[in-house]
Structure 1
Amino acid sequence: VLKDGSFKNLSGWAQEIATKRARLGNPLYQSIRHFKTFRSIFLNKVEAFVGLHQSSITQQDIILWNRTLNEAFDRMIELFTMYYGQVSEAQVYAQKMLISELSTPVISISDTVGVLPIIGQIDDYKSNDFAEKIMVQAKDLELSCLIIDLSGVPSIDTMMTNELFQVVNMLELLGIDTTITGIRPEIALTAVQLGIDFSKIRTYGKLKDAVSDLLHIR
């Protein structure tokens, strides 16, 4: 950049490094911190060079070098964060597609009882015909009871709760009882704060307890 004032080589480098960092899961703030460090190193080098060649360097040269380096670093950070964001979004999308492509999210553990483990946020399943898949599989497996395990759900909000209750209500219309297990303390607290009523749904703290009771009953 200092040689010819061109920024044309920045994009390729930024894309390559941002892609590597995003795929490795390196936090974005760490990379931004590195940019800050290297900016200081470059400017210190310019300062040292000016100190050695004061007689041949004008104030305009110093201003130009300072402006050029800062603009280069600013462009690099902009490009880097843009490419990092693109790769991160692509990874999130791929994960959601993987959830969508799961062929058998309902696990049959007996002739009449099945388990549906929820991993991640319930909202991740919203756009993937999740409820419809559950209905079809529960019916095909001729289940009379479906255990929905929330052990893998870190948190819940009103929208996610509505999604969950929609599945529960649809199962009820099919004559399938629903049991919910693995409700974390955070989820229970949120449910109380939101005024969510779980009293009409059978719940267990642990999946194994529900499986033991339901298999014994059925």
Structure 2
Amino acid sequence: EIATKRARLGNPLYLSIRHFKKFRAIFLNKVEAFISLHQSSITQQDIILWNRTLNEAFDRMIELFTMYYGQVAEAQVYAQKKLISELSTPIISISDTVGVLPIIGQIDDYKSNDFAGKIMMQAKDLELSCLIIDLSGVPSIDTMMTNELFQVVNMLELLGIDTTITGIRPEIALTAVQLGIDFSKIRTYGKLKDAVSDLLHIR
């Protein structure tokens, strides 16, 4: 139940694992306190058995927790990607000239649906002068996907459409730098709401 709740809220998995470490320490401290009170009746074999049992139980809990968390997180990402792919217009128009394209999951998943072509057509049909591409829903990215993304940015530029990218994770930035992609020509923001606020104010 906790794993499902944490996954639905989008809480980072590593934070939950940290709690397991704290709980394990609390249990071990209780065992140590019990041993100190009953030293005369406790053998070395008892201590080894309790320690092994306790650690195996916590390892199993962590294993189950990560499994259930992963199942819920994957189901959410799949549902979000399916919803976006079914939308006739994946670009969300937020003003006469500004649109938002939220990308959920891996960029590579969009290739089969003529991702780049649809963006070009819809951005042009909506008469956008600026498109915000939000990457906060992209868990990871490789070299090929980063290159694909920046090819889309270049094509939008040829159409006279400025591109703003939000939600860039450190690994995405690192991959882009390794590819030699120049970020200086692209406006970036850490959060989507900041980009929307600035661009709507400007335009």
Deviation per residue, 1:13-43 (Å, 9 max, x gap): xxx9999999999999999999999999999
Cross-structure match for 2:136: 151
Residues 159 and 31 from structure 1, CA distance in 2 versus in 1: closer, same or farther, beyond 3 angstroms? Answer: same
Identity %: 95
Structure 1 position 197, deviation (Å): 2.5
Residues 17 and 136 from structure 1, CA distance in 2 versus in 1: closer, same or farther, beyond 3 angstroms? Answer: same
> Mean Cα displacement is larger for which, 190-199 or 70-79?
70-79
Mapped contact 1:100–1:130 kept (Cα < 8 A): no
Unaligned residue ranges in structure 1 (runs of 5+): 1-15
Structure 1 position 194, deviation (Å): 3.9
| Structure 1 SS opposite 2:184 | coil
Cross-structure match for 1:5: none
Mapped contact 1:126–1:163 kept (Cα < 8 A): no
Residues 56 and 124 from structure 1, CA distance in 2 versus in 1: closer, same or farther, beyond 3 angstroms? Answer: same
Residues 168 and 72 from structure 1, CA distance in 2 versus in 1: closer, same or farther, beyond 3 angstroms? Answer: closer
> Mean Cα displacement is larger for which, 55-64 or 129-138?
55-64
Residues 24 and 171 from structure 1, CA distance in 2 versus in 1: closer, same or farther, beyond 3 angstroms? Answer: closer
**TM-score, reference length from structure 2:** 0.58
Structure 1 position 148, deviation (Å): 0.3
> Mean Cα displacement is larger for which, 149-158 or 33-42?
33-42
**TM-score, reference length from structure 1:** 0.55
Structure 1 position 187, deviation (Å): 1.9
For the pair 1:96 / 2:81, whether they are aligned, the reply is: yes
> Mean Cα displacement is larger for which, 88-97 or 142-151?
88-97
> Mean Cα displacement is larger for which, 41-50 or 116-125?
41-50
Cross-structure match for 1:47: 32
Deviation per residue, 1:80-133 (Å, 9 max, x gap): 999999999999999876553321110000110000000000000011111111
Mapped contact 1:114–1:146 kept (Cα < 8 A): yes
Mapped contact 1:180–1:202 kept (Cα < 8 A): yes
Structure 1 position 75, deviation (Å): 27
**Equivalent residue runs for 1:4-15 within 5 Å:** none
- When Rg is computed on C-alpha atoms for both structures, the one with the higher figure is 1
Mapped contact 1:99–1:125 kept (Cα < 8 A): no
Structure 1 position 135, deviation (Å): 1.1
Residues 48 and 101 from structure 1, CA distance in 2 versus in 1: closer, same or farther, beyond 3 angstroms? Answer: same
| Structure 1 SS opposite 2:165 | strand
Mapped contact 2:81–2:104 kept (Cα < 8 A): no
Mapped contact 1:151–1:182 kept (Cα < 8 A): yes
Aligned residue pair count? 203
